[in-house]
Amino acid sequence: MAFTFRATDDHNKILDEISKKNGFNTRSKALSWMIENYSELVSSRDQYLRKMHQTFSLLTELRSAVKNKLIADQILERLVEDYGTDNVRSGDCVDEKSM
């Protein structure tokens, strides 16, 4: 099977990296290796993208949790300023001296 591969500079960098890692002495061997391992490369890429999506989702959740914690701390601070801690009977108490 013969075809023409028009490589950009980015493609050449990738082929050079593959050649270097696998001990190939030409880009054409690196390209052949990529063609032979195409499904594995696509699978690895898909797995990487899934992990990136999961990481992004976790960061979004973390950002939301931090924002909610800051809002809760501000509300608690206002409540302590307005009402003090005299009426707290159970649970976690806020020490007025630390406020």
Q: What share of the chain is helix, strand, coil (3-state, %, to 5)?
A: 75, 0, 25
- The predicted model gives 75-85 an average pLDDT of 88
Q: Does 61 have pLDDT greater than 90?
A: yes
pLDDT of residue 22: 80
pLDDT (0 to 100) of residue 14: 82
Per-residue pLDDT at 92? 56
pLDDT at 12 over 70: yes
pLDDT at residue 43 tops 80: yes
Report the pLDDT averaged over residues 33-37: 82
pLDDT confidence tier of residue 95, bands split at 50, 70 and 90: low
The residues near 30 (Cβ < 8 Å, ≥ 6 apart) are 15, 16, 18, 19, 22, 24
